[in-house]
Amino acid sequence: MNVSVKSLRGVSRTWRSFSSRQGMNVFDRSMKRRQKDWASSLLDSSKYDYLREEVGSRVADRVYDVARTFPLALDVGCGRSHIAEHLSKEVVERLFLTDISSSSLRNRKTSDIPAQCVMADEEFLPFKENTFDLVLSSLSMHWINDLPGALRQIHQVLKPDGVFIGAMVGGETLYELRCSLQLAELEREGGFAPHISPYTAVTDLGNLLGQAGFNMLTVDIDEVQVNYPGMLEVMRDLQGMGESNCAWNRKLLLQRDTMLAAAAIYKEMYGNEDGSVPATFQILYMIGWKPHDSQAKPAKRGSANVSFADLSKIGKLQSDQ
Amino acid sequence: MSGSNVWTRSRARMRLFPELMAQCSGEATAYGKCVAATTTGKQELTRNMCVKEFEALKSCFQSAAKKAVK
């Protein structure tokens, strides 16, 4: 990432803040359902699947890393189901798929794991407590209004010693598009409005998971850069993925002059040598466990039997053995 | 929605956008450089700071669009 880009004056961003209750209705969920329905019923919808495929396979990798078989698993916000096709019946025996968009569930990809589809909102999971051994979520949590609440519900439906493995878009995703649109609007119209939805910062994610009751957390960040011919192709692909903005504060109109200006700025500031432009997606992966007695706990205070002072003698200890 | 309406017509116009941009790459680069220069300088970016470069880009774009229609 170009450091000079980050120090642009007048270029701002809004992070999702989870401290105040007022920030809890950021997205228009019914609009998101309509966008997902439209995107999944496109004839060439598989053309836009590349990002979800990649992230789905990486989430499946993390499932394999946990050397266990999961009798019952849940995929929250599954879309057209991009994780299940990389998993096998030996690892996950039965799968529940939920999404707010019924059209996505109907057009989902096939896999050999027996699956049941439930149309449900991620914030109102219709399952009993202590049901699932594994909960998965890939690239849908960045549209949830009450993220702390949704994480608490995931924690609830998990069995003790169950695990939640999720991936969401966050951090500095699409900063090139955000900055180009912002500068173009400033220069052409004299002010700017948010066009990119607010994302969760990676530093907040650990706190969110901890507050929801998960322990043994693992959070890591992955950057995927995709090259496009130009800014319009970026926007068209985002629309085809069902990732159009649905925040209540979004501006509904993008003026033609501003679009032209933004495309020129995008190419000049971020373009590659061969004329293409990059778009950055920062994917946050998270793993959290529901507490159980069998899990390792921190040692009791006062139970140490070696002192830090012995560190200086380590060389001597090794040569004795 | 079937048939021709404002959305199908504007989407059809948008599809020509990349080719027209390719024809005006010089003007686009000039405009982009002007805006990028304001971000590293001491001045804040204000409205119409790069209006000359933008007008050049826009007129190039519009004449390319007229040629494409013919």
Domain with A159 in it: what CATH number?
Answer: 3.40.50.150
Q: Is the dihedral of CA A79, A80, A82, A87 positive or negative?
A: positive
Say what the pLDDT of residue A310 is.
80
Element (H, E) at A318: helix A314-320
The Cα A195–Cα A224 span in angstroms is 21
Residue B15 has pLDDT above 90, yes or no: no
Average pLDDT, 10 consecutive residues per value, chain A (321 residues):
38 65 80 94 91 95 93 94 92 94 92 93 92 95 93 95 94 94 92 90 92 93 94 93 91 89 94 93 95 82 82 69 48
Cβ of B46 within 8 Å of Cβ of A232? The answer is: no
Describe the crossing of helices A147-157 and A202-211 by its angle, rounded to 10 degrees: 50
Q: How many domains does chain A have?
A: 1
- pLDDT band for B11, please (50, 70, 90 cuts): confident
* Amino acid occupying residue A187: E
Tell me which residue has tokens 């007695």.
Answer: A293
Amino acid A317: pLDDT: 60
Give the per-residue pLDDT at B43.
Answer: 78
A66: Cβ–Cβ under 8 A, 6 or more apart, which residues?
A: A163, A165
Any idea of the CA torsion for A119, A121, A127, A133, to the nearest 10 degrees?
A: 90
Give the bridge partners for A99, in sequence order: A119
Question: Which pLDDT belongs to residue B63?
Answer: 92
pLDDT for B7: 80
For A217, residues 6+ apart whose C-beta sits below 8 A from its C-beta are A206, A209, A210, A286, A287, A288
pLDDT of A10: 41
The 10s digit of each residue's pLDDT in B27-58 is: 999 999 999 998 887 778 888 889 999 999 99
Residues of the domain holding A160: 2-320
Which helix H or strand E contains A268, and what residues bound it?
Answer: helix A256-270
pLDDT at site A161: 93
pLDDT of residue B39: 85
- The confidence score (pLDDT) of residue A4 equals 35
Residue A179's alpha-carbon distances to A7, A37, A130, in angstroms, are: 12, 29, 44
Joined tokens for residue A148: 């702390």
Give the 3-state DSSP-derived string for chain B, with helices as H, strands as E and coil as C: CCCCCHHHHHHHHHHHHHHHHHHCHHHHHHHHHHHHHHHHCCCCCCCCCCHHHHHHHHHHHHHHHHHHHC
Q: Given A186, A233, A264, which is nearest B45 (Cβ)? A: A186
**Chain A: closest CA distance from residue B59 (Å):** 11
Residue B1 pLDDT: 55
- CB-CB under 8 Å, A4 with B40: yes
